[in-house]
Structure 1
Amino acid sequence: MADIADPTFYRTPSDAIAAAPESLAYVVAFDPAGQARDALTVVDCDEMSSTFGQVVGWTELPTSGNELHHFGWNACSSALCHGGHAGHLERRYLIVPGLRSSRTYVLDTKLDPRAPKVVREIGADELAAKAGYSRPHTVHCGPDGIYLSALGGADGADGPGGVALLDHDTFDVMGPWEAERGDQYFAYDVWWHLNHDTVITSEWATPSMIENGFNPEDLLGRRFGHHLNFWSMSERKPRQRVDLGDAHQMVLELRPAHDPAKTYGFAGVVISVEDLSASVWLWHKDGDQWAVRKVITIPAEPADPAQLPPALRPFSAVPPLILDIDLSVDDRWLYVSCWGTGELKQYDVSDPFSPRETASVRLGGIVGKRPHPAAPDLPLSGGPQMVEISRDAKRIYLTNSLYAAWDEVFYPEGVGAWMVKLDADNADGGLSADHRFFLYGDTFRGLRVHQTRLQGGDASSDSYCFTG
């Protein structure tokens, strides 16, 4: 397979780190009102280019109201670990789900990387009829097909959510991935340890719990997901279900170690009912079982209720709201986005059991609204939300919107749209904002931006087959 595969399929994490840096970033954009058409934008990341830090491509989808959220490549480095593909396989297509519409679009980046072309729509009816799911969320290329997590059930059912499989070559929905489900009901992220026959899934909520905005009663009633689910990849059935405790609400992003010999990873938890703190948990192999422990706690910050949105005034505090985490390809640096307080934290996780905070950057925030150094007089709404790390861990890309209905609860004045790049110190830790890379205002034509993918691969989307 290696002799016919795309050169951006890297056998080892070291190969990925040594590869050429990204020239382009792909960023999804959506209209919170659902009127203007959603889009895939292309941003120039080449520091030697005359258009560095600018939008250089814009592909409008044929529909609106999709609320583009998370997306991914049709194929990546994990293809070197498994077969099941017809002909020459390339990291060519972006699979872009609409979380609100349940439509998924396939865009071809090969002919002109700056002008991706829509080549396929996977309708909500196909996803429902063939897999029994709705509200597609996360995309990963893997064995047996393309894995597409989904939050909801078919025909308006709230659940159970789960994982659908798409054909590697045609992008047809093949069916649900699960052969057995056990007690799993909520869904969110899906990831794996390929060499250890293990899939991990996390939990957010049902569509009815998220689509009209955040309801504090759901939080106080401890109704959100609070489990990690471990599955047999080969048998497609649950092996172990770990409850983090119902005080720890919304177990979202999963980041397994990139080194395929390692059996650990990190999960971000949005909020604690008990004190509004947020946390990061480590899963690891303990004998023949999986064990989970909290390794990072980030406290809420006291605030004047007059400065808070109505949902937070009774608490007189700003919760960090960990909404994304990302692990560098060398497994050394963990980045944690605190969307509520407007902070991105950097941790040295060389010892994953004892993370050490090494740097922090503040942008936006519910109370602070801290500006970017390139525009010191411009208060920013929203905060670091989605995080993407370059393969060499030198560049960190941030966008600021969560989900339209939730943006309005925590930032009633709106979050606008901004994207920034931070430069990282890989020796001892450290972060600084790139003054030349600050996209905001009308740059995104009134749309909001969410996840970023990097040309040639990035830290949050590739699995590797060999240690090196």
Structure 2
Amino acid sequence: MGMRPDPTFHASPKLAMDAPAEDFAYTLLLSPDFSQPDALAVVDVKPGSPTYSQVVHTVPVPNKGDEFHHFGWNACSSSLSPLTGHAFLERRYLIIPGMRSSRIYIVDTKPHPTQAKIHKIIEPEEIFRKTGYSRPHTVHCGPEGIYVSTLGGAGKDGTDGPPGIFIMDCETFEVLGRWEIDRGLQEKHYDFWWNLPRDYMVSSEWALPPQFENGIVPEDLLSNKYGHHIHFWDLRARRNVQTIDLGANHQMGLEVRPAHDPSREYGFIGVVVDTTNLEGSIWTWWREDGKFHIEKTATIPPEPADPELLPPLLQGFGAVPPLVTDIDLSIDDKFLYVACWGTGEMRQYDVTEPRKPKLTGSVHIGGIVRRTPHPNGQTFAGGPQMVEISRDGKRVYWTNSLYSTWDNQFYPDGVPAAQVMARAEPGGGLALADDYWVDFPDGYRAHQIRLEGGDCSTDSFCYPSVGI
């Protein structure tokens, strides 16, 4: 703990945008066949550096079979909340859950990203004993601790009770216990985020462990048994105040992205697939007169395809669904990026009017049928997946792996780890950078990215911006 706030903490989104650019990106690597330990890769992203777009350090873990997926910081701009006493923490430790093992690694990034090392390991038994949850997933640094969502409840298959969120101490990393006091109708879990001054949280649903760990279950998908609700919570009271059903055909509403400026009470969620027509969709929620509302505001159609070119899972449909597997919102709340993992497209929408998204940019790379190569000629297997935006909004990074068993179903030829970057124009427009391509060690796949100093899916801001 320092004697002054970490310089990477910013009171408002505008101040974060004006901060220095990132020099390093942290990327999670997973071994899909569990033959080697998962790892954290540190990538040089500083233009002009002799090791630009190269892995300059790796932190392998001592165990196999963790399945790294999402991760986050111990502390971020939310520490500047006027209601807590944690302003003097450092953005120093990365909290990395093993989604399959329920183990959590704490990685220290000081004194320098290229010297990052394991600081502590939290074994699954501690999580099971103190929370009754399993399969940790999303990590957010809150003003009073580290919040971790889970995908499983207790028991071997994670179905003994619903999943939820638990809290960790942001200094000792001790698991404290369940966050929820009254969960209401929430029975599945996936992502969550919040508006701190407005005192609400939003959460989404994916599936229970038997529905995702061994691959997608087609019968369950076609029977609309995956998640299709969005939940709104009173953050301080820790209770569910409203649940909205998106419609059973809107399967797997995953990533939630509230507006970064806390004066704006709206946000976005991406829906993977509509089982009636294979569309992907974007939905906008907002709060009005104390009540939450949500509506579908953009759709992305499937692409017809020769069944012989499709994996067995899709051959009966004769089309490739876009499969909206990640979305991310620029810190100025202007552009929403939508990863279409199935069709191999990254879309950019102008969401200045949040209920009227306008498509302003698109690039293709990878895809189940398209298989579009990178501008440098390299083969990009899989499709755009986890996306991360620089604080200034000028660089958009992404990787290509969704989840090991799902990768194998949709991309049976394999998904070797890849990371690319596109440059975004201030008024809209997107172009892949032909000089940015990260080669990772053989046998790995790449998932979520975090940027040094914070990024657009890390920080929560406590004060409104001026001048945006």
Tell me which interval the TM-score lies in, with the shorter structure as reference length.
over 0.9
Q: What SS does the aligned partner of 2:114 have?
A: coil
- Cα 1:321–1:162 shift into 2, 3 Å: same
Does residue 444 (structure 1) correspond to residue 446 (structure 2)? The answer is: no
Partner of 1:26: 26
Report the counterpart of residue 143 of structure 2 in structure 1.
143
1:229 to 1:457, Cα distance in 2 relative to 1, 3 A: same
Q: Which residue of 1 aligns with 2:154?
A: 154
Q: Which moved more, 1:189-198 or 1:109-118?
A: 109-118
SS in 1 for 2:216: coil
What do residues 165-198 of structure 1 show as CA deviations (whole Å, max 9, x unaligned)?
Answer: 0011111110000011111110000100111110
Task: State the AA in 1 paired with 2:336.
Answer: L
Contact 2:416 2:442 in 1 (8 A): no
- Structure-1 separation of matches of 2:110 and 2:411: 38
Unaligned 5+ runs, structure 1: none
Does the 8 Å CA contact 1:2/1:80 hold for their aligned counterparts? no
CA distance in 2, matches of 1:87, 1:462: 14
**Map 1:196-235 → 2, pairs under 5 A:** 196-235=198-237
CA offsets, 1:110-153, max 9 Å, x none?
12211211011111111111011000000000033100000001
Partner-residue secondary structure (3-state), 1:314? coil
Does 2:7 align with 1:7? yes
Give the SS at the match of 1:37. coil
Pair 1:404–1:82, CA change in 2 (3 A): farther
Q: Counterpart in 2 of 1:92?
A: 92
1:229-260 Cα distance to aligned partner (Å, 9 max, x none): 00111110110000000010001001000001
Moved over 6 A (4+): none
Q: Determine whether 1:371 maps to 2:368.
A: no
Aligned residue pairs total 463
Is 1:455 the counterpart of 2:452? The answer is yes
Q: Is the 8 A contact 1:323 1:338 kept in 2?
A: yes
Give the aligned partner of residue 315 of structure 2. Answer: 313
Distance 2:215 2:85 in 1: 40
Unmatched segments (≥5 aa) in structure 2: none
2:32 is aligned with what amino acid? P
User: Aligned to 1:460, what secondary structure does the other structure show?
Assistant: coil
Per the alignment, residue 433 of structure 1 pairs with: 432
Amino acid at match of 1:160: P
1:254 alignment counterpart: 256
* More divergent stretch after superposition (253-262 vs 79-88): 79-88
**In 2, are the aligned partners of 1:98 and 1:136 still within 8 Å (CA)?**
yes
- Note the alpha carbon deviations across 1:30-49, whole angstroms, 9 max, x for none: 10001201100000010021
SS at match of 1:346: strand
Alignment of structure 1 residues 384-395 onto 2, 5 Å: 384-395=384-395
The alpha-carbon deviation at position 86 of structure 1 amounts to 6.4
**Residue correspondence of structure 1 range 20-99 to structure 2 within 5 A:** 20-82=20-82, 84=84, 88-99=88-99
2:349 equivalent to 1:347: yes
- State the TM-score, normalizing by the size of structure 2: 0.97
Question: Aligned partners of 1:61 and 1:113: how far apart in 2?
Answer: 16
Moved more, 74-83 or 292-301: 74-83
**In structure 1, what is the Cα distance between the partners aligned to 2:187 and 2:217?**
20
AA in 2 matched with 1:392: D
Whether the aligned pair in 1 keeps the contact of 2:133 and 2:153 (CA below 8 Å) is yes
Paired residue type of 2:293: A
Aligned-partner residue type, residue 21 of structure 2: P
Quickly say closer, same or farther: Cα 1:85–1:106, change in 2 above 3 A.
Answer: farther
Cα-Cα RMSD: 1.4
Q: Distance in 2 between matches of 1:49 and 1:86?
A: 35
SS in 2 for 1:195: coil
* DSSP-derived class of the 1:165 partner: strand
Per the TM alignment, residue 414 of structure 1 is displaced from its structure 2 partner at its CA by 0.9
| 1:49-83 residue CA offsets vs partner (Å, 9 max, x unmatched) | 11111001111111111110000000000100156
Q: Is the 8 A contact 1:129 1:154 kept in 2?
A: no
Structure-2 change in CA distance of 1:348 and 1:177 (3 Å): same
Cross-structure match for 1:116: 116
* 1:323 Cα offset (Å): 0.4
Alignment partners' CA distance in 2, 1:126 and 1:204: 24
Distance 1:233 1:144 in 2: 12
Secondary structure in 2 matching 1:199: strand
Change in CA separation of 1:268 and 1:418 when aligned onto 2, cut-off 3 Å = same
Name the counterpart of 2:463.
466
Structure 1 residue 431 displacement after superposition: 1.0
Report Cα offsets for 1:315-357 as digits up to 9, x if no partner. Answer: 0000000000000000000000000000000011111110100
2: distance between equivalents of 1:230 and 1:394? 32
1:120-199 pair list within 5 angstroms = 120-156=120-156, 157-158=158-159, 159-199=161-201
In the alignment, the residues of structure 2 paired with residue 82 and residue 125 of structure 1 have an alpha-carbon distance, to the nearest angstrom, of 35
Alpha-carbon deviation of 1:85?
Answer: 5.2
Among the aligned pairs, what percent are the same residue? 51
- What does residue 424 of structure 1 align with? 424
Amino acid of the structure 2 residue aligned with 1:452: I
